[in-house]
Each structure stands twice: as C-alpha cells, then as structure tokens.
Structure 1
Amino acid sequence: MVCRTILWSFVYLTLLQFDAHRAEKCEEMTDLDLKHSLTGTSLNVRLLFYTRANASCAQLLSHREPFNNSQFNLSSPTTFLIHGYRPTGSPPIWLSDFVKFLLNRRDMNVIVVDWNRGATNINYWKVVDNTRKVAANLTDLIQKMEHNGADLSSIHMIGVSLGAHISGFTGANFNGKIGRITALDPAGPEFNGRPPSERLDPSDALFVEALHTDMDALGYRELLGHIDYYANGGADQPGCPKTIFSGSQYFKCDHQRSVFLYMSSVNGSCPIIAYPCDSYTKFLDGKCMDCGRFQSAGCPVFGYDAINWKDTLVQLNQTRTYFQTNKETPFCKFGYKVDIVTWNQKTHWGYLTIKLSNGQKETQVELNHKYLMFERFVKSSLLALFDTDIQSVKEITLKFCTGKGLRPRKKLRLLSIRLTPLQNSLRPLCRYDLLLEENKDVTFRPIPCEDSNF
C-alpha cells in the first residue's frame, strides 16, 4: 500500500512538472530559409502574444478563441506588430527588442503577426497577393475583440513595408475607426501610383503616420498618412552602403532603418523634431524652421509621441515633414538656426563650417549641400544640425571656403552671427564684427545677443 502511494505521488508530480513545462513553452516566430523562398510557401498566420507578464516568452494566440488566454486584457490597449516581405525566410533581427521597448513604454497587449509562411517567397507578386488575406485574418480577430468589449480606438497597428499596407487594408475594413496606424517605410513596388483603395491612406485609421527611408527603391514615395516623415530626405540613409559590393546590406539597410528609427522613438532616449516643409532642399536651406501653423504645440516630434499632435495633424489633413539623423543610435541631431549678416561690398558665395566646443566636447557641421549666398546687409538664415548636443558652449569656430582653390583667397566680413538652439530654451549665441579669411579657422567666445540687431 505504501509503495503504491509513493508510486502515484511520483506520477502525479511528474505530470504537474510536465504541465508546468508545457505551460511555460515559449513560441517563436517561424524561421525559414532560402530553400523555402525558392519553393514558395503557403500562407499561415500565427499570432504571437506578449504582455509585461510574459515580455520575453510569447504565447500562441488562438484565432478561434483568442480570449481564453487569461492574460489578454481587453480593456488594455493592443499593438499589432506586422513584418513585411521576407525573401530569405529569416525572422526580423529587430523583433524581440521592438516588443521589449513597447512593453517598457506602456502596459499593453502586443501581438506579433507572424506571416512568414506567405511572406517567404521569391515571387514577390504572390506575397503582395497574400497581404489582403493577412488583413482578412486580422479583421476577423479584431471583430472578435470588438464583440467582447475592446475599444477600436485603443488599437495601434505598426506595419513594416508590406505590413504597412496590411495595416491599411485592415483599418479600411473598420471604416477607419482603428486608433492608429504606423507605417514604417511602406512598400513601394506594386503600390506606387495605386488608388487609395489599393494601399494605405489617411482614412484607414483615426491617426495615420508614415516614415519614408528608402523611397527610391523598396519604399513608397508619396504621402500616405496624416503626417509623413522623410528621414534624411527619404532615400539614402547615413551609414548605409553606397555600392552593391557591400552585399545584402546594400539592398536592405535604407529600408530597415525605418524600424530602428521608430524603435528609438519608442525607447524615448532621443527626441527628433520633424519640420513641416515642401521639399528636402528647402529644409536644408533653413526655410522651414518656423512651425507657426502648429501654434503653441510647436513643431511635431517624430515617432511614438507624435500622437500628442494628432488633433492638429488630422485637421491639416496631410503634412510632409523632414529631419536628419546620425548613422546610428542615438539618431537625433541638434539644430541651430544660424543668422548671418555680412558687410562686404560685393556678394560672396561659398560654404561654412561651424564647430561648437564646451572645453571637453566638440561637434562640427559643414554647411556644404549648396553654394551659400552672402549679400551685403541681407540676413542669411541657415539650418545647422550637429551630431551631438553641446551644452554651455564656450567657443565657436568658423571657417569660410569657396571651393575655388586657384583663385585669390576671399574674405567674408561678418557684421553679426547668431546661433539659436531649436530644441531647447537655451539662450542664443552671438558675435559681432568678424573677419573670415578663406580656409582659415576663426575661433571666438560667444557673447550675449543684442536682439535689436535682428
């Protein structure tokens, strides 16, 4: 009798351990390879579910009975994370960090939409066809959520490349009542030039934002949202390879940069100001630093916190914005409006280099995207974007050059120069009566500005 009791106890404990192990099983995104891409894959949508309680261990959400999972809180906001085309079949390298950043930012349900079987196919056109089917799958799930009490306005869909259009198709099925769609370099091929019903558009959600980082290749070129961000002009990204000899990074670096930029905004480490502007050239020329139409709210920020400008952006319908970034995190740059008045008898043309130093750190920018014109007693306003933020600037160094080495060196006589920080409330930096000789550094200490001169 005692032996039988011991035996049953052992069996019972073993079963408990087995159930516990089974309950703790972590689901992972489908991992395929080039072989699957060559043979093609049939669509299969898996929903990987995360909360703060299981931030590093995904649970598989049932399509039929998704709310049997006790951790799914219908009163909490839900974010869908939707990848794009996977020509090699591998899971995205950014996936786990993206989920972690979202859950660190806010208590929510995160659903990673794993449609790797269906996105892995050398036949891109077949994958494009699957986007409608994925959207239908998500529509069915969200209908169940709404039926069980979820608020559509609390749903945020983040779509990468083809995932952006999947988000749009899903949102359109709810007549734009979904709260927010974030499109990260939405796919261009097969979508460029299409009518709104065949791609993402502002009517697909209460708030639609789109980030463009590869519009000259894999991304979409024109406006798609209430606000569209064109990072570094929307095409070539700093630090990305310029030639095909760099391998696969040449094809995907610009496109993928959109994800890392948005992740940085979720992480909240370094805010980026987005400047409304008609073109990148005007932005670089410093003609778009005034965000007056946003009134007291000021210029919108890029990324996760752009929701704070939602009401204004929706009223403005579609806003095109630009910003520059560094080549790696922290991506944000620090802007100054530079106002210069010269008093040369003749108009001078050339480039400027500006260096800021606080005695321990320094940062430099070359204003050389175009020839700058300096006309007597006419204020020239320029935009200078520095890689790092130098607080308590003690010294400024200027260098003027014309790029014409065979001609006699010219001198640029500055009546005044003023550097006004764009991101914070620090006081402007000024200096008066300077002489810049071509190709020579001139270093000076800034002094309080005489506002009456500007």
Structure 2
Amino acid sequence: MFWLIFCSVFLRCLASSENEEKCHEFTDLNFGHSVIGTKLNLKLLLYTRENENCARKLDHENVTISRLNVTRRTTFIIHGYRPTGSPPVWLDDIVKLLLMLEDMNVIIVDWNEGATTILYNVAAEMTKKVADILEVLLRNMVNQGAALDQIHMIGVSLGAHISGFVGQKFKGQIGRITGLDPAGPLFKDKSIDERLDPSDAQFVDVIHTDIDALGYRELLGHIDFYPNGGTDQPGCPRTIFSGKQYLVCDHQRSVFLFLNSLKPECNITTYPCASYSEFQKAACTSCDALSLSQCPTLGYWVDKWKDTLKSHPQTKFYFDTTSKMPFCVHYYLLDIIVWGKVLHWGFIEVKLADSSGQIVQSMEDRTEAKFEQYNQVTLLIKFDEDLQKIAKIFLTFHTNNVIGPKYKLRILRLRLRPLTHPDRPHLCRYDIIAEENTEVSFKPMPCQNLKIN
C-alpha cells in the first residue's frame, strides 16, 4: 500500500514538473479551419529573457508572481485577422528584438482560434471578446502589483482595435498603445468607443501603410505615421497575379517598419505635413511648428517625444522608404535659382559620386517644379544609399516635351543641403546650363552667400 501511494504521488509530481516546463507554441491552423470557422480560444504566451525560446502559458484568471514578474515592463503583441490560419511570420522576430532591447515581459495574445475564418466580420466581432479576457488578466496583474503605465500594447490590424478596447476599460491609464495599420473595413466612421482612439492610452502611436484597402485612413493616435503616403509600399506587388502578397504586402509593411525600429541600423525620421503631396514638394521638412529641434523617429522610440506630441492637435507625419529593410531613405534639399527669362516646368534627376567613383542615383520622383527667373525652387531629393563625402554631382533636367527643340535650364545657383544628416556641409555650384534630357556633371564647392536683387 505504501508503495502504491508513493508511486502515485511521485508520478503526479513528475507530471506537474513536466507540465510546468512545457514550451507552448502559437496555434497553427490552416485554410480548412478557416472554411469551417473557429470558436474563440485565447492563449497567452509569455516570453522573458529567462525563457526567450520557450513560451510559458499564462492563465488570465490566475496570475502568479512566480510565473509573471509584474514589476517589469510588459508588452502585449496582438495579431489580427488570420484567413489562412497560419502563425504570423514576424512573431519570433518581434519577441527576440524586444527582449534584446529591454528586460521585459512579452506576452503574445494568440487568438488564432477566433481570428481564423473566411468571414472577416466574424473575426471583427471577436475583438471585444478578446478585450474582455485581457481586461481580466490586466486587473489580476494590477492586483499583484503591476503598474498600468508600464503596459505597452502593440496591435496589428484588428489587434490595434482590441488594444483600444482594453484601453477604454482602464480609462486611458495604460502607458502606450501602438497600432500597426489598424483595420479599416467595418471600423470606418465608427465612434471612438468602437475603435482605437487617442484617449485609450497615455500615448497612442499609429503606422498606416494600406489606407486604400485593408487599413484605416484617418487619424487614430497622438501621432500617426503615413509611410509613402500610406499606400502602395515600395517593393509590394501591384497586380492580383502576384497572389497573396498582392493582398497583404502593404498591410504587413507596418509590422516590418516597426521591427526595423528595434534594430540599430538606422532611425527613420518623419515630418509633419498636411498631405503627402506637400511633403514631396519639400514644403514640410522641419518640426519648427511643433517647437521640436529634432523630428520624431518612427516606431519603438517615438515615445521620447510623447509629452510634446500630446500637447499638439493630432498630426500626420510623412516619410519615404525603400523596398526592403532597413527601409531608410537619405534626403537632400536641392535649391535651384535660374536666370533664364523663359519659364519652364520639369523635374530633376540627380546622381552623386564620391572620390572612389561610387555613384548613387536619386530615387524616381516625377514631381514637377516651376522654374522661373530668380525664384528659388526647393526640391526633395531621395537616395536609398548614403555617401558621406560628395565629390561630384550629375544632374539631368527633364520635361514632358515630346517634340520640338530641347529646352535649356540656365541655373544661376545650385545648392545641395543634406536633410538626413544636417551636420554635413552645404554644397554649391554656380552658372550651369542643363540641356533637357542631357546629363551634366560638375564638382561641387562649399557654398558662399549669394544675394539676388
């Protein structure tokens, strides 16, 4: 009898120990599950530096200090609609990168069972139910000693609105919500109680990358970023023949831009402007109106500017990206004063070369400018590579002229001002004649003062 009791207790302890150490994974479903539909079954997967490769499962109704150190900062990752049922491709990266930055709790909110359905409206209806469960978890965490201002919720698509619903329940006391291309369909024109809103957290930042399809167009945060105007992200397919990527690439780009901000390669500077077209015309290349000496950077570190941003009305911030990581564009402002009396419309193509002969070409931009006598035109010139020291400039003047004589642009002064690296010197050149569609090259020189009467 003694041995039977001993073996029973031993086996139960062994099973308990094995269960305690079990690694849990994100729910992996397939399109078949989407067709038949799934009922909501939420899992909370905890990662810390102690278990960055092995998720621990949390019970939202029974949070123990031994399982979750609530004195740490806690970041929630909440995915969106999953029509194919597969895990998000970016999950592992975001967990690892966050834990590299800070000793925090990272909790993956796995509601794949609920989000996996061919009926988007059904998944959208689940969002408030997910928020109800997260409310219970957060209240238990607070009872254990957690501070709401140390909570950061990162929501993707529908997950952004889930974050907003949770924030409403705590009357905006949550520290921060980051919305990554919040879902647009079924949320457009909804009241602030039915979507993400700046009142949902102490600081709300939003990245919009697909405002003409799956994303939300209007402002939702204290700061709203619109990469490349919020539509048609570089490198994403433009035709349906590209399959799934045509549907999701623009939408997902918000996530990869945020991931990029967690890496040290480069920080993307953003600029407040009324519209993307105005930004492209170089009308908004500073943050003087916000009384900021330095414009905000995209992504994780933007909360450094939260106090100033919260004191201003909601503002749109624009910037351009390249087609792949690290996505950084290097900007220059090109000032041109012409002395020819004939007015010309056209655009400028620029190449830069360093002393070694390496050449970088400006990214395509067909924004037309009006060149008239003694009026300075400022153009925003973009490069996907950076040259620290410029030894030569190549310039080509283009117009929409198809037939007839070639026009000439008679440049009195050209000035190149680094915008991305404002500490670098301004470069000038004087008295240049640029014939239409013909490249002209020259060595720049340090700028001198030039007065135009």
- 1:24 CA drift (Å): 3.6
Task: Check if 1:177 corresponds to 2:173.
Answer: yes
SS at match of 1:267: coil
Single out whichever of 87-96 and 142-151 deviates more from structure 2. Answer: 142-151
1:86 paired residue number: 82
Q: Is the 8 A contact 1:212 1:231 kept in 2?
A: yes
1:5 paired residue number: none
Q: Aligned equivalents of 2:357 and 2:186: distance in 1? A: 52
Task: Check if 1:361 corresponds to 2:348.
Answer: no
Task: Check if 1:266 corresponds to 2:262.
Answer: yes
SS at match of 1:210: strand
Query: Which of 22, 41, 46 in structure 1 is aligned with 2:38?
Result: 41
SS at match of 1:66: coil
Query: Which of 370, 374, 377 in structure 2 is aligned with 1:377?
Result: 374
1:100 paired residue number: 96
User: CA offsets, 1:43-67, max 9 Å, x none?
Assistant: 0110000001111111111122222
SS at match of 2:135: helix
- 1:367 CA drift (Å): 5.8
Task: Check if 1:116 corresponds to 2:115.
Answer: no
Q: Aligned equivalents of 1:120 and 1:451: distance in 2? A: 64
Structure 2 gap segments, 5+ residues each: 1-6
Q: Aligned equivalents of 1:63 and 1:238: distance in 2? A: 40
User: CA offsets, 1:271-298, max 9 Å, x none?
Assistant: 1111100001000011001210233442
2:446 paired residue number: 448
2:336 paired residue number: 340
Task: Check if 1:279 corresponds to 2:275.
Answer: yes
SS at match of 1:370: coil
Q: Aligned equivalents of 1:426 and 1:23: distance in 2? A: 57
Task: Check if 1:192 corresponds to 2:217.
Answer: no
2:297 paired residue number: 301
Query: Which of 24, 28, 41 in structure 1 is aligned with 2:25?
Result: 28
- 1:142 CA drift (Å): 0.7
Query: Which of 57, 61, 64 in structure 2 is aligned with 1:64?
Result: 61
Q: Aligned equivalents of 1:248 and 1:136: distance in 2? A: 32
2:433 paired residue number: 435
Task: Indicate how the Cα distance of structure 1 residues 57 and 337 shifts in structure 2: closer, same or farther if over 3 A, else same.
Answer: same
Q: Aligned equivalents of 1:16 and 1:35: distance in 2? A: 38
- 1:16 CA drift (Å): 9.1
User: CA offsets, 1:377-415, max 9 Å, x none?
Assistant: 000011112111111111111001113231201111111
User: CA offsets, 1:1-26, max 9 Å, x none?
Assistant: xxxxxxxxx99999998776544421
- 1:450 CA drift (Å): 1.1
Q: Is the 8 A contact 1:30 1:114 kept in 2?
A: yes
Q: Is the 8 A contact 1:45 1:134 kept in 2?
A: yes
Q: Aligned equivalents of 2:263 and 2:363: distance in 1? A: 30
Q: Match of 1:136, as an amino acid? A: D
How many residue pairs match? The answer is 446
Task: Check if 1:389 corresponds to 2:386.
Answer: yes
SS at match of 1:369: coil
- 1:360 CA drift (Å): 4.5
Q: Aligned equivalents of 2:220 and 2:251: distance in 1? A: 16
Query: Which of 281, 287, 290 in structure 1 is aligned with 2:286?
Result: 290
Q: Match of 2:411, as an amino acid? A: L
Single out whichever of 131-140 and 401-410 deviates more from structure 2. Answer: 401-410
Single out whichever of 138-147 and 278-287 deviates more from structure 2. Answer: 138-147
Query: Which of 301, 306, 313 in structure 1 is aligned with 2:309?
Result: 313
1:131 paired residue number: 127
Q: Aligned equivalents of 1:14 and 1:357: distance in 2? A: 72
Q: Match of 2:156, as an amino acid? A: V
1:4 paired residue number: none
Task: Indicate how the Cα distance of structure 1 residues 337 and 453 shifts in structure 2: closer, same or farther if over 3 A, else same.
Answer: farther
Q: Aligned equivalents of 1:367 and 1:11: distance in 2? A: 73
User: CA offsets, 1:418-452, max 9 Å, x none?
Assistant: 11111221111211111111111111111001145
1:398-409 matched pairs, under 5 angstroms: 398-409=395-406
Task: Indicate how the Cα distance of structure 1 residues 278 and 30 shifts in structure 2: closer, same or farther if over 3 A, else same.
Answer: same
Q: Is the 8 A contact 1:365 1:386 kept in 2?
A: yes
Task: Indicate how the Cα distance of structure 1 residues 73 and 452 shifts in structure 2: closer, same or farther if over 3 A, else same.
Answer: farther
The two structures, once aligned, show a CA RMSD in angstroms of 2.1
Q: Is the 8 A contact 1:352 1:367 kept in 2?
A: no
Q: Match of 2:434, as an amino acid? A: L
Single out whichever of 146-155 and 251-260 deviates more from structure 2. Answer: 146-155
Q: Aligned equivalents of 1:11 and 1:292: distance in 2? A: 73
SS at match of 1:340: strand
Q: Aligned equivalents of 1:445 and 1:375: distance in 2? A: 25
Q: Is the 8 A contact 2:61 2:136 kept in 1?
A: no
Q: Is the 8 A contact 2:290 2:312 kept in 1?
A: no
SS at match of 2:138: helix
- 1:219 CA drift (Å): 0.3
TM-score when normalising by structure 2: 0.94
Q: Aligned equivalents of 1:113 and 1:453: distance in 2? A: 62
Q: Aligned equivalents of 2:9 and 2:192: distance in 1? A: 60
Q: Is the 8 A contact 1:356 1:363 kept in 2?
A: yes
2:153 paired residue number: 157
Q: Aligned equivalents of 1:14 and 1:128: distance in 2? A: 44
Q: Is the 8 A contact 1:342 1:414 kept in 2?
A: yes
User: CA offsets, 1:57-102, max 9 Å, x none?
Assistant: 11111122222534x2211110000000000100001000011111
Q: Aligned equivalents of 1:106 and 1:114: distance in 2? A: 22
- 1:368 CA drift (Å): 3.6
Q: Match of 1:435, as an amino acid? A: I
Task: Check if 1:233 corresponds to 2:229.
Answer: yes
Q: Aligned equivalents of 2:217 and 2:51: distance in 1? A: 38
Query: Which of 205, 208, 221 in structure 1 is aligned with 2:204?
Result: 208
SS at match of 1:443: strand
